[in-house]
Structure 1
Amino acid sequence: MKDNSNIQKYKRLAPFYDKFMGNRLFRKARQQAFSEIEVRKGGSLLLVGVGTGEDFLFLPADASITGIDLSEDMLRIAESKRNSKDITLFQMNAENMEFGNQKFDVVVLNLILSVVEHPEKVLEKSLNCLRQGGTLLVFDKFIDSNQKPNVIRRLLNKITSAIGTDITRDFHKIKSGFPIEITKEYKTINDLYTIIVARESLSNDISV
């Protein structure tokens, strides 16, 4: 998906996004994903592709949270959900995000790797932002590792791609070549979505 076209797509989707992605099923899955991580008191967390801030409900109140998104319209809605939490929002392209020497304890990639044009770039930038020993949390609609999408999924992808989402991506292919160790991976929402907990590997022995 091209960045410019994604901006236009999410400009149109922003007013309706929460009606689809804020339903009970998705909120339960988001909560399930965040239950897999721990953020120490005063710790830092980066939400890459923060969208309308649907994840805010499940974030620890005592953490320093940063969220980025390409869409100004989505960020405007997210801003209204900050409440009293320590949340800083930036309009930023995930493929080119830069935080200098700032590192985060947790980097969250929820429903972003299936949206961006170059998911490998986003993963690389995310690892650059992750402190040593930090946690990477991913929640997205991936196909099973090393399997080609079936005919139905390929047909559905023509529809979902029109609204900015590729449902034929394989996380294991995206992470190929990066020093990532997956510590937990399982399906959710009728096996259509995947929750992945990972960290940067400190050795050449990478679990897959």
Structure 2
Amino acid sequence: MKNNSNIQKYKRLAPFYDKFMGNRLFRKARQQAFSEIEARQGGSLLLVGVGTGEDFPFLPAGASVTGIDLSEDMLKIAEGKKNSRDITLLQMDAEDMGFGNEKFDIIVLNLILSVVEHPEKVLEKSLNCLSPGGTLLVFDKFIESNQKPNVIRRLLNKITSAIGTDITRDFYKIKSGFPIEITKEYKTINDLYTIIVARESISNDISV
């Protein structure tokens, strides 16, 4: 997928996105993912690829939240879901996050690594923005590590890629070469999606 074409895809998809991704199964999985993290009062949380704000109901109380997305149309919908929450929304490319030296205690990558053109860049930028000892939460549709996607998945990927999602990506290949330690990993939504809790490795060894 190309990021420029994704802007147009999500412009068309934005009005219908919540009908597809706001169903009971996805809401339950999002809630399940956020139950894996804790935020201290006044802590900072970054939602990369905030979309239409479907994660907002599950955000930890007391956290100062920043959400970014490439799609202006998605952000407009998310703006209406903030209510009184402390949420700052910014139009920004996840592959080129411009936060300077700003750090976040928690960074959430929900359904974004399967969408962007270069997921490795998003992961690298996320680690650069993560506070020492911070938590990385990932929720996405990955294949099993070091296994080729089967024929059915490859065929389905032709359809999902047309609407901006690659369902044949391997998280372990994406994270290869980065100092990431996975602390928890398990499947959800009929084993089609994966929830991953990770942190930047404090050792000198690079997790692969």
Deviation for aligned residue 1:60: 2.1
**Distance in 2 separating the partners of 1:37 and 1:17:** 26
RMSD: 0.8
Distance 1:139 1:174 in 2: 14
Gaps of 5+ in 1: none
Q: Which residue in 2 is equivalent to 1:185?
A: 185
Q: What TM-score does the superposition give when structure 1 sets the normalisation length? A: 0.98
Q: When the two structures are aligned, how many residues end up with a matched partner?
A: 208
1:12 aligns to what?
12
1:149-164 mapped onto 2 (5 Å cutoff): 149-164=149-164
Deviation track 1:59-110 (CA, whole Å, cap 9, x = no partner) reads 1231100000000000000000001110000000000011111100000000
Distance in 2, matches of 1:91 and 1:117, equals 17
SS at match of 1:204: coil
Alignment of 1:53-72 (within 5 A): 53-72=53-72
Give the alignment of 1:14-29 within 5 angstroms.
Answer: 14-29=14-29
CA drift of 1:4 comes to: 1.1
1:150 shift after superposition: 0.3
User: Residue 158 of structure 1: CA displacement?
Assistant: 0.2
1:73 equivalent to 2:73? Answer yes
Provide structure 2 residue ranges, at least 5 long, that are not aligned to the other structure: none
Q: Deviations over 1:4-59 (max 9, x none)?
A: 11000000000000001001100000000000011111100000000000000001
Alignment partners' CA distance in 1, 2:204 and 2:115: 29
- What's the counterpart of residue 89 of structure 2? 89
- Deviation per CA, 1:121-151, whole angstroms, max 9, x where unpaired? 0000000000000000000000000100000
What TM-score do the two structures reach when normalised by structure 2?
0.98
Structure 1 position 206, deviation (Å): 4.9
- 1:157-188 CA deviation, whole Å, 9 max, x = no partner? 00000000000000000000000000000000
* 1:61 and 1:86 in contact (8 A); partners too: no
The answer to whether residue 126 in structure 2 is matched with residue 126 in structure 1 is yes
**CA drift at 1:207:** 5.2
Which amino acid in structure 2 is aligned with residue 120 of structure 1? E
CA distance in 2, matches of 1:53, 1:199: 24
2: CA distance, partners of 1:56 / 1:206: 33
CA contact (8 A) 2:176 2:207 kept: no
